[in-house]
Structure 1
Amino acid sequence: MFVLTCTQILQSQNSLGFTFPATNAERNQKCSYFTNAFRQKPKEVGFGIKREGNNLYFTTNNKKWFTALFKKSGDGIAIDVVSKSRYKCENELDASQIKGTVLPAVFAQKLLRGFKKVTGTNSFRTLVGSVPAALAKEELEFNILFLNNKALCRYQTTYNLDSYGWDLLDMGVYLDSLTYKDKSINTSDKFITKYKTLKFVIPFQKNKYDYSSEDIKPLYDSLRLTDFNIKKINIKAYASIEGSLKRNIELQEKRANSIVKSLQTFQKPNIVTEISSSENWVEFLNDISKTKYKSFKTLPKQTIKNKVVGEVSKDLEKYLQKHRKAVVILELERKDKYKNMSKEKLVATFNDLVLKENIEEALVVQNSIFEKLKKESSPDLLNTLNVPKQRKFVPILNKNSIYKYILNLSYAKIAFDELKKIEKLDPKNKNIKYNLIVVKFIIWKNNWEKIEANSFKQEILKLKSYGIKQHLIDRMLVNFHIVKAEKDMRARKYDEKDASVEFIIDTYENFNLSNYDYLSLAQFLTYYANTDEATEVLDEKVKTITIDEDLLFYYLNLTIVDEYAVDSQNYRTIMLNAIEMNRDRFCKLFNSSLEDGVTFQLLENKYLRATYCENCTK
């Protein structure tokens, strides 16, 4: 919507050389061609403003779309140069569509005459203006005004939102046991075979910070770490919000260090330690939502602190006592007695154990060989392992074949063919049956060979008869419909695609999801359903202090440009969760879109601006 006063409209029309439609009816009449052109624009078409020195260029990756857009002599582009200084916290913002300094419009003839391919790229560009000297040293963004026959038809702000891919939900594979990928949102694929992580919460007593090994031993024993050492510990210590921030942080760091010291007494290898501390605003705001103190949710943090004293503090203690805690993440390393043995010696030891039919120990050595292979991209070393094609060696044969797929997805077809041969040795082996389905998904998804969808679905359902648990089958069925939806979309079978999406929405809560699974599911729903369905997957999780940082910031990436989402009752809680987790990362969202921010023009929103000014300017 165009938000301009009558005076502003007259001044702009007189000085800028183009008009602002005053009503929706006038805009619909004058802008129908541009409206349709943008509505029908392929999603692959990108455009923006690029600054070189003080010159500003309109850039796009699609010449055909650009040249078709500017047909009449009065069609053109103007640039609104916006400075971040507009959003200083002490300033009052005026409600105006124009946020900065509008440069003279450049019309069709000049745009097309200057439109040239950028050497060495697939992009095209044309000069649309230069930065005014008075603004040259300020942090700037450049909004685009699209003009149709000298009427403003579209005011475009550029959002620099991170892009994310998605994948199938992780089904794991059977090695010695069901083994999952260690895939985080910002890293590449790898499987957990030696390391695993445990996350748990330790509650704190008020003002207590000294934790002895006797205090920690029941927890340590409950973790059953017989086969593992603690390699790394990450502790996020939370204080309740009442009292001095400095005192709260000091107390939490003492508690965290005390826990680490106690855990270190149970093993000789040194534990790598990461400790951070903050106040637990997230759970405080969640807990007061249904109390007589719910009005506190909209107040500045310091105002809330000033109120949570005396009788109010005593009244809220039943909640505050639950907010003093540590979220502890342990990265565990499997104890490996063959760790220092060379690859060649490991292979010789393995082959000797197989020859002696000591299968149990051969499986242990095989895991050590897999650890060596993690540093390589080729499974050639596995070809030097001599394993007879006999039923009693199926556990070893299975691991050798499926590990080729683990090393590199491109080996999925090779692994599948080998597993089919091993299946003949033990036709009812559930591990083989399960692994065959996992690699068959990769073959089907990538169209490496023709697979009939309904027959494949029946194979998945039949896994139950071999002892595979229902929640694992449900996960596979969700993946089945993810792939099927993609294929139906390409075939324009939209009703069938919608049915698959509906199945996924109805089923995903039947099993646990990793952080990357949450991301993949949300991204899938964003593309094939809508953003509301995607955010609903994460709505509850983002209000918990145990959420993965990258997943939380993914949610912000998905929602922060949506005024309706930002205006919701819980959005402040979600933002404070991000702030307590990584203040710098949150505040950088409001940097210029040209400086790795989303856009500082997010600060037009009063709720975002209030949060930014409270947390990012001190």
Structure 2
Amino acid sequence: MKFLLGLVCVSGLLFPNLLSSQSAGSKVDLENLDHDLLSNELIIALNNYRKEKGLSELEAEKVLSEAALDQAMYNRKSNSVSSEQIKKKKITAFDRVRYYKGLFYKVDEFDIAVEVDSKTRLKSSTKTQPSSYREISEYILEEWRDDRKLDVLLTDEAFFKVGIGFAPNKVNQLLFASIVVGSAPYKKEKNFSYSSKSHKINPYDREVCKIFERTYSYLPELFSNNLRIEGNRIVFYYHDLALIEGILDMGKDALAVDIMTNEQFACDHGNMLHPSPVHKGMMLKPVKKSKLFKLNKLKGAKEFRADLGAIPAGMDTSTLQFALLVIKDKCLCSRISTNNLKGKNIRLLDIELAIDTLSISQNIDSNSRFLEFTVPFEKSKYDYEVEDIKPFLDSIQLNRFNIREIEVTAYSSIEGNPISNMNLQQRRAESILHAIGEYQLQEVKTKIETHENWDGFMESIKGSPYEAEYKNLSKDEIRMVVNSDTLQYDLEPYLADQRKANIRIFVESIYIDSLTPEKLPSKFQASIQDEEYIRSKAIQTLMYRAVLNGELDTAVLFEGDIPQYKQFVPLANNRVAFRMQFQKKKNSDSLVDNLRMEIEALLGVEPTNGHINFNKQAIKLYYWAKDLQFLIIDEENKVDQPKDFYKDIRKLYNTKIDNYKVNRLLLNYNIISADFYYDRRDFRNRIKALKQVKKYVQKAKLNRTQTFIMAKYFIYQMQIDWAVQIMSPFIKSGDYDSDFMMTYLSISIYTEKLVKQETYYEYLKIASEKYGDEFCELFRKPGMSKEYLSDLKIKSIYCENCK
């Protein structure tokens, strides 16, 4: 066994006359103590305990044994038990290990004095005296385990090595024992010259670094992928010289690189890190501020490039890991590990034009035979006019349905109080039935139900920042929170969709011939020739859905002419939207130009149409995204086109366009604004625009794909917290793919306030089991640095799956 050989070597050198043929059951005689035998028994006891905890066994190590013997002898001399010494170079266990030339990044110690002839009762034995080697070993282990603070050391998975020293005091019949545990030792590279004092750089000091950290807390993310290898040189590049000048603003500031090998984090042994508090591997000589700026060849371009040193000779860069060290006033203030965050800037997110189709689902169940549609209500309003419901009722007549019963379920949103909400629900249902009655349908049976829309509210906040906060609250608790003025404003986009009435119309017969896809194009042309607006709109709606279902070719949507009459403007607008949806990939620029002209022409006929005005603003966003100079600000002449554009988009809230669609326009407006103001060096308004992007992301009902695009945008903008916030609901619900999960893991490692450490480990475990190879690639170049395996729980999960 490795530990036995090691201790025999050490103890044999130190106590050559004490070797004997005693056994583990032999009574201990301090006059003739077998140090090797007692060490061997104690290590067996320690490792049996660690095996019960699922930990690796400890192996004996010479330097640790020397440090342990040193402390045992010190305690015997002082006739007391202590883990410290007076001598400066030997104060702590770590100091003593370094004194004996050990390179362990983590070390700790347990010290004890055993009264060998006392009547001490073992907790696990009926014997009253630890007389044998085995009993004394078990006694020491039990004393260690009973000390809660020290038991943590015994079960620390960072420890792989152990050294034990004994110093008997024959006069007092005391046996002083010292046990030193340590991590795997660091192995120096032969072709590198190490600085004994880390180039005189001081370890991290909170007082020295606090202003820097408060100002530049985002540097670990920002500079996570800015080291480059050019030949055998390590180069740091950043596109903004001004930022670097702000960071390195003191004379003793510097940058340095810490080079580590993959072998330091290999799965077949413990992490082998250099014991320096400044670096973990080979630290290159820091390059001071004055030299960095003097040798910057990109100063004219207002960029920054710095050569930070050479890779040691004979080393393969594919086996190396790098960390950037930011030094302030000769103190290490930031250690930046490599991490490829994969951020991506965008100018537009899924611009879709508004289509004015009938508000009918057309999902007809031939068994239950009913039609459904939804009527929205504004906040606190209940009046509904026949004109608002006429298109749907016309479609009923068009399809010649025989109505048997009308069922109205009226909902209110959850804010306010239950009694007022109940009255509001009843009035809404009665308003709907009154409007239907004015349309003069045949007399039919009616049924009214009223509810506060709790299910709808909880469904609408899925994927939002409020989901986790509310899911464990009672209805009364949620209502109390929602009714607060500030939060009600923030929740309005989620509450608005809950104010509605669902109408279900049961029918006795359905004429399926009117819905046959192949007959729709000819019926559409006939309805236009007959100037039957409602009929043509219903058929156009059915054709569109047939195209989406693959039952018709897209060409049918563009066949025939649509008259330029006011009542037919919605049909022409829909064609514009169809062309954007189905033809955008072909000649997109010229297509958008044509669509813009068509929209302007339609507005000349019907300037108040909400759908056309929506599409006008959407097309305008397309132009602005392509050319940031499309809109201008002329302060001298008080011209602010972006501001006017913003007001035009907000006017769409007063139309029948769904709020979330308007929110998507405003989301895109602010995405473009952020770049627009950046180009103008107007950073105040740029930051405001980014905050608005965050606001509207949560109100735009984005799906997972869209959310992922926005998360990458936030990563690019160094808003890592925001990216984690919008991705987290999908992770929690299990709605993700490999790319989504790996990106989430690479960024949430920076956001412990949002993703607690234990939760992060759980996600790592899920990813490792679900995605295997993709998970392993996460910790290979150009992904996350293997330095992240310094966290032993991360390493454990990695090594279980990626050996």
TM-score w.r.t. length of structure 1: 0.52
Cα offsets for 1:409-440 (capped at 9, x unmatched):
64545423320211233445443233223223
Counterpart code for 2:233: L
Contact in 2 for aligned 1:423/1:429 (Cα 8 Å): yes
Note if 1:48 corresponds to 2:238.
Answer: no
Contact in 1 for aligned 2:256/2:308 (Cα 8 Å): no
1:433 alignment partner, one of 613, 630, 636? 613
Counterpart code for 1:603: L
What is the rounded CA distance, in whole Å, between the counterparts of 1:16 and 1:590 in structure 2?
A: 31
Counterpart code for 1:165: N
Which stretch of structure 1 is more off in the superposition, 351-360 or 467-476? 351-360
Note if 1:597 corresponds to 2:774.
Answer: no
Matches within 5 A, 1:41-440: 47-50=226-229, 52=231, 55-60=232-237, 79-93=257-271, 94=273, 97-102=278-283, 126=307, 128-133=309-314, 135-136=315-316, 139-145=319-325, 155-170=335-350, 172-175=352-355, 177=357, 389-391=564-566, 394=569, 397-402=572-577, 405-406=580-581, 407=584, 410=589, 411-412=591-592, 414-440=594-620
What is the rounded CA distance, in whole Å, between the counterparts of 1:418 and 1:144 in structure 2?
A: 56
What is the rounded CA distance, in whole Å, between the counterparts of 1:73 and 1:494 in structure 2?
A: 30
What is the rounded CA distance, in whole Å, between the counterparts of 1:504 and 1:104 in structure 2?
A: 42
1:518 alignment partner, one of 698, 703, 707? 707
Contact in 1 for aligned 2:219/2:336 (Cα 8 Å): no
What is the rounded CA distance, in whole Å, between the counterparts of 2:317 and 2:662 in structure 1?
A: 59
What is the rounded CA distance, in whole Å, between the counterparts of 1:25 and 1:470 in structure 2?
A: 48
Structure 2 residue matching 1:91: 3-state secondary structure = coil
Instruction: Give how far 1:615 is off.
Output: 3.0
Cα offsets for 1:286-313 (capped at 9, x unmatched):
9xxx9xxxxxxxxxxxxxxxxxxxxxxx
Instruction: Give how far 1:77 is off.
Output: 6.2
Structure 2 residue matching 1:173: 3-state secondary structure = coil
Instruction: Give how far 1:542 is off.
Output: 1.0
What is the rounded CA distance, in whole Å, between the counterparts of 2:546 and 2:333 in structure 1?
A: 65
What is the rounded CA distance, in whole Å, between the counterparts of 1:77 and 1:528 in structure 2?
A: 24
2:739 alignment partner, one of 546, 550, 556? 550
Give the corresponding residue for 2:464. Answer: none
What is the rounded CA distance, in whole Å, between the counterparts of 2:268 and 2:248 in structure 1?
A: 41
Cα offsets for 1:288-342 (capped at 9, x unmatched):
xx9xxxxxxxxxxxxxxxxxxxxxxxxxxxxxxxxxxxxxxxxxxxx9979xxxx
Instruction: Give how far 1:524 is off.
Output: 5.8
Instruction: Give how far 1:144 is off.
Output: 4.1
Counterpart code for 2:205: N
Instruction: Give how far 1:576 is off.
Output: 3.6
Cα offsets for 1:436-479 (capped at 9, x unmatched):
23223334554424574565455445445542233433444444
1:501 alignment partner, one of 667, 683, 691? 691
What is the rounded CA distance, in whole Å, between the counterparts of 1:504 and 1:67 in structure 2?
A: 27
Counterpart code for 1:599: S
Counterpart code for 2:661: L
Counterpart code for 1:98: H
Which stretch of structure 1 is more off in the superposition, 14-23 or 66-75? 66-75
What is the rounded CA distance, in whole Å, between the counterparts of 2:316 and 2:682 in structure 1?
A: 50
Note if 1:532 corresponds to 2:721.
Answer: yes
What is the rounded CA distance, in whole Å, between the counterparts of 1:614 and 1:140 in structure 2?
A: 22
Change in 2 beyond 3 A, CA 1:534/1:425: same
What is the rounded CA distance, in whole Å, between the counterparts of 2:657 and 2:215 in structure 1?
A: 52
What is the rounded CA distance, in whole Å, between the counterparts of 2:743 and 2:693 in structure 1?
A: 24
Contact in 2 for aligned 1:81/1:131 (Cα 8 Å): no
Note if 1:473 corresponds to 2:662.
Answer: yes
**Rg comparison, structure with higher value:** 2
1:448 alignment partner, one of 612, 617, 630? 630
Cα offsets for 1:17-48 (capped at 9, x unmatched):
8212156289669x99x99999999x799841
Cα offsets for 1:508-536 (capped at 9, x unmatched):
55552112432354456667794334422
Change in 2 beyond 3 A, CA 1:609/1:424: same
Structure 2 residue matching 1:538: 3-state secondary structure = helix
Cα offsets for 1:258-299 (capped at 9, x unmatched):
xxxxxxxxxxxxxxxxxxxxxxxxxxxx9xxx9xxxxxxxxx
Change in 2 beyond 3 A, CA 1:153/1:370: closer
Note if 1:613 corresponds to 2:799.
Answer: yes
Alignment gaps of 5+ in structure 1: 179-216, 223-285, 291-334, 339-345, 373-378
Structure 1 residue matching 2:234: 3-state secondary structure = strand
1:587 alignment partner, one of 768, 776, 779? 776
Change in 2 beyond 3 A, CA 1:150/1:465: closer
What is the rounded CA distance, in whole Å, between the counterparts of 1:528 and 1:597 in structure 2?
A: 19
Aligned length: 439
Structure 1 residue matching 2:200: 3-state secondary structure = coil
Contact in 1 for aligned 2:259/2:323 (Cα 8 Å): yes
Give the corresponding residue for 1:305. Answer: none
Counterpart code for 1:80: D
What is the rounded CA distance, in whole Å, between the counterparts of 1:575 and 1:45 in structure 2?
A: 20
Contact in 1 for aligned 2:347/2:671 (Cα 8 Å): no
Cα offsets for 1:337-383 (capped at 9, x unmatched):
79xxxxxxx9xxx99999999978899999999999xxxxxx9xx99
Alignment gaps of 5+ in structure 2: 1-92, 104-192, 359-365, 372-467, 473-515, 633-639
What is the rounded CA distance, in whole Å, between the counterparts of 1:129 and 1:35 in structure 2?
A: 32
Change in 2 beyond 3 A, CA 1:65/1:45: farther
Change in 2 beyond 3 A, CA 1:124/1:501: closer
The CA RMSD measured in Å over matched residues stands at: 6.1
Contact in 2 for aligned 1:111/1:128 (Cα 8 Å): no
Question: Which one has more relative contact order, counting CA pairs under 8 Å at least 6 apart?
Answer: 1
Contact in 1 for aligned 2:353/2:615 (Cα 8 Å): yes
